[in-house]
Structures are given as structure tokens and as C-alpha cells.
Structure 1
Amino acid sequence: MDIVLLAKAAVMGIVEGLTEFLPISSTGHLILAGSLLGFDDAKAKVFDIAIQTGAIFAVILVYWQKIHSTVVALPRQAKARRLALNVLIGFLPAVVLGLLFGKVIKEHLFTPVVVATTFIIGGFIILWAEKRPPGSVRIENVDDMTPWDALKVGLVQCFAMIPGTSRSGSTIIGGMLLGLSRQAATDFSFFLAIPTLIGAGAYSLYKERALLSVADIPLFAVGLLFSFLSAWLCVRWLLRYISTHTFVPFAYYRIVFGIVVLATAWTGVVVWAE
């Protein structure tokens, strides 16, 4: 296996892990990083989706106590069953809309200019969400969510099908706009990511299996490993961060980064691959 290609896989894994659970769009960053690295062919697109599984293992590790206690309590505790049902309900809209529109979106919207534009729009939405009056919070804890709350967050998650929008940004900021506290929205976003990203990775690998071979195992293994390690560090940091901070810095990051990408694309300073 080409050492340069493995190095690119490591970089892409780090980008995935650091951006998957922040409201700044991992898909958008992977598209931009892949464009800069020349790692943007059909196999690279499968790789980008598959390595999300590494980031999910990090979430499972960080939330293991909550996940384990919920699973064990399913037969006898209504609260545990409600949380499991809510995750299932929140997951379903992405499955349906992904199967219906996923191919069209990948063919027409996975471009740097689209990513940069949605970066900017998403930044302003975060600023708007953070200006909510204090009394707008209805749900402080993820265990207090209703199935209707879960469905609404699941529908909002579907906006993340547009690259640059951010799955975590859609669910966290969308959840906050729907009345969830910052902590509850973040926790539910992480729980919802587990079936969503594992399902997307497995489906992508199965659908594009003809592109892959045994020789690709080292490439994917490196991406998964670095995705896991960087996501583990990022999730632990984010959970501490949100206890005392808002998402406003991420909003400004999105806006500035999006403007830089558009400016470099229009001036020709950087030739972004389409």
C-alpha cells in the first residue's frame, strides 16, 4: 500500500473525528480536504462515509455507561424504553429521505462552493439559535424527551444531507430551537448519530462493494483508527465545553471559513475539485 495514500487516509480520519460532532460539518470538511489532497474519487467518497464508524465507536465509548444502563433496563424501565424508542423515531426520517434523495444529492451538491455556502448559512442560523430567550427551554434532560420531540429532531437532521450543513449542527441547533437545552440537544445528537452513521457506513460499503478489494483494508483501517482517536478526544472536550460556553464561536468559524473558500474559488487562488 502506498505510504502517501495511507498518510492521506490518516489526515482524512483526523478531519472526520475532529469535525463529526462539532456543528461545523464533517462532510463539508472532508470534501474540502479531499479536494486539496487529491483524494476525491469514487472510492474516496465511500471511504469518507465508512470512517464515520470510527467516530461512532468513540461516542459509544464515552457514553458507554448510559448506553449499557439503558439497554439493561429496557425490559423493566419505561424511561429506558422511551429513550430507545426516541432514538429509533429520530433515525427513521434520515433512512427514508436518504434512500429517496441520497444519490441525487451526492451527484449535484457535493461541491466546495455548495459546502462553503451552507457553511455561511449555518453560521447565521447558529447565531440566531443562541439568541433564544432563557425561558424557551422546555427539556433539560434527554430522558424527558417525547416521541414527538424525537421526530422533530429527526426531521431536522435530514437537512444534514446537504453537504456543509452538519449533522451534529442540525440536530443540536435544531433541538435547541425546538426547546431542548444545550446539554439535552447534544446528548440526543450523539445517541442519534450511532444508528445513523453506522447505517450510512454499512449501506455505502455494501452498495459500492464493487469498487473495493482486500488491498483497501489498510487504507480503511488507518482512516477508522485516526477517526476514532480524534473523535474520542473531541467528544470529551465538547461535553466539557458546552457546560460553560455557547456555540457562537463555531458560528463565526463557519462564516469566516465559508467566505475564505468562496473567495479562493472565485479568485482562482485555490482550484477546488468539483
Structure 2
Amino acid sequence: MSTLEIIILALLQGLTEFLPISSSAHLILPSQILGWQDQGLAFDVAVHVGTLLAVVLYFRKEVGAMAVAWCGTVGIGPEKGKQSFDGKLAWWILFATIPAGLFGLLGKDFIEAHLRSALVIAATTILFGFLLGFADIKAGKRIEHKPLEKLGFKGAMLIGLAQAIALIPGTSRSGITMTIGLMLGLSRDNAARFSFLLSIPAITMAGSYLTLKLVLSTEAVDWFAMGLGSLIAFVSAYACIHYFLILLDKLGMMPFVIYRLILGVGLLWFILG
């Protein structure tokens, strides 16, 4: 890959991983439309590491509190035997990650073979864009929002099931989890925060799988591409999370809904035109 391709692809990963517009779609499209070569396993690992570090660092206080509280629920550490919401939230996130893990394990070959086309991306981009818009309108009209503590295990699992569907390119992991969070009565901010926290084990699983594939492969490693890609993905993802949460209550989801619809229609025009 050229340096320009590294910069563009890493920026795409960092900016779209946490926005409700599908990172996988934006990483597939350059090869579909511009004819770029696949970025390779090593680069995929690098950008996943960058985005994972960004979300963990940004939510370091929440992650630390959940880790300590979770250890307490299993009889380890200073909070041994204590029951707190942080501990409960940690369990919700762990269990809600299971559907995506199972779906990825069982369906990855089918997805790779049949669902990574520009046509599928266009269709899912439009469909789930409409769903996000519908959920955002409902949330905007709601007088009171359910606090995150009232989400419950069932609500967390529904969001986890939605995350599994996001393995289909164009769906957007953050987009569909925020959509379900809004439909369940969460505020935009809480829906986004739960989505970001839920992304941590999901990105960890995806990165671990790609790392294992890289270790078992004979692919040559471009350390410059890995280092630069990881750094750019980290910086852009951290900035994206920060400003997205600031602007969310002011702008809502509609700018992203409009972007998805324009992107989807543009793809259909490109494919069918």
C-alpha cells in the first residue's frame, strides 16, 4: 500500500468505527470502487488495535470501575462480595457480546463469500439508515428517557443480538446498537455510551481473530504500514468519540441518517448506472 492509502484507510477505520455509518462498508468500498488492493491482515490488526486503544482510553474510568466491580462479583479484589451497578453493567456487556461471537464464528465464511458486495452494502446502508432515523425521531419526542440502570439484562441482550446482525457489511455496529438502545427508551447519550462500551469486547474478539490468522499465515508484515495505520486509527477514533458525544444531543442522529441515505443511493447509482 502507498502512504496515501494507509492514511485514508486508517482514517476511515478510526472515524467510522464509532459513527453509525459502518466502518466495514467504508473499508470495503475503496477496493470495490477505486480498485485498491485488499489492505491485508497485518493492516487490519493494526487499525483494530488503534481503535480499541482509543475507546478503552476514552472510557478508562468506566472500564476501570466495571473491572473492579466485576471482580468483586466473583469474589476477587477490594469489592469482594459487593453488588453494584458497575458490576451488573460488566456482566450485561459480557453476555451481550456472546451473540456476535457465535454469529461471527458460525457465519463468517458465508458473510465473506456472499455479503461483502457493494450491492449488499448499499441495501443495508439504506435500510438501517431508515431504522436509525425512525428511532431518533421517537427519542426526540420522548419526554423522559430510561436511565441506563433500567435497561436490564433483557434490554442488554437485545442490543447484543443487534450487534450480531452488524457483522453484515453496511449495517454499522454502532448504528444498529444505538438504534435498539433508542427504541428501548435510552437517551441518545446513554445509547451511544452503551454502544461504545459494548464495542470493547467486540473489537477485542475481532482483533484477536485477525491476529491469530496473521500469526498462522505466511503474509509479509509491513511494519511501517502497521505502525502508521494504528497511530492514525487511534487518534482519529479518540477524536471521533469525543466530538460525537458532544454534538449528539445538539444534532441527534439525523446528519448520519442523511449521509447513509445519500451514500446508499449513490452506491446503487454507481452499481446500476
Please report the TM-score for the alignment, with normalisation by the length of structure 2. Answer: 0.88
- Contact persistence 1:56–1:194 (CA under 8 A): yes
C-alpha distance after superposition, 1:226-272 (max 9, x if no partner):
111111111100010113221011111101111112112222xxxxx
Unaligned runs of 5+ in 2: 73-78
Change (3 A) 1:219 1:154: same
Q: Which residue of 1 aligns with 2:147?
A: 140
Q: Is it true that 1:60 corresponds to 2:56 in the alignment? A: yes
Equivalent residue runs for 1:1-274 within 5 Å: 5-41=2-38, 44=40, 47-48=43-44, 51-74=47-70, 75=72, 76=79, 77-132=83-138, 134-135=141-142, 139-141=146-148, 143-213=149-219, 215-267=221-273
- CA shift, 1:205, in A, is 2.3
Paired positions, count: 262
- Secondary structure at the aligned position of 1:164 is classed as coil
The percent of aligned pairs where both chains have the same amino acid is 34
Change (3 A) 1:151 1:13: same
Unaligned runs of 5+ in 1: 268-274
Change (3 A) 1:136 1:112: farther
- Secondary structure at the aligned position of 1:85 is classed as helix
Within 1, Cα distance between the matches of 2:209 and 2:179?
Answer: 27
Change (3 A) 1:65 1:229: same
C-alpha distance after superposition, 1:117-153 (max 9, x if no partner):
2111122112211221644865223x44322111111
Within 1, Cα distance between the matches of 2:256 and 2:60?
Answer: 27
- CA shift, 1:81, in A, is 1.1
Letter in structure 1 aligned against 2:146: I
- Secondary structure at the aligned position of 2:138 is classed as coil
Please report the TM-score for the alignment, with normalisation by the length of structure 1. Answer: 0.88
Change (3 A) 1:250 1:138: same
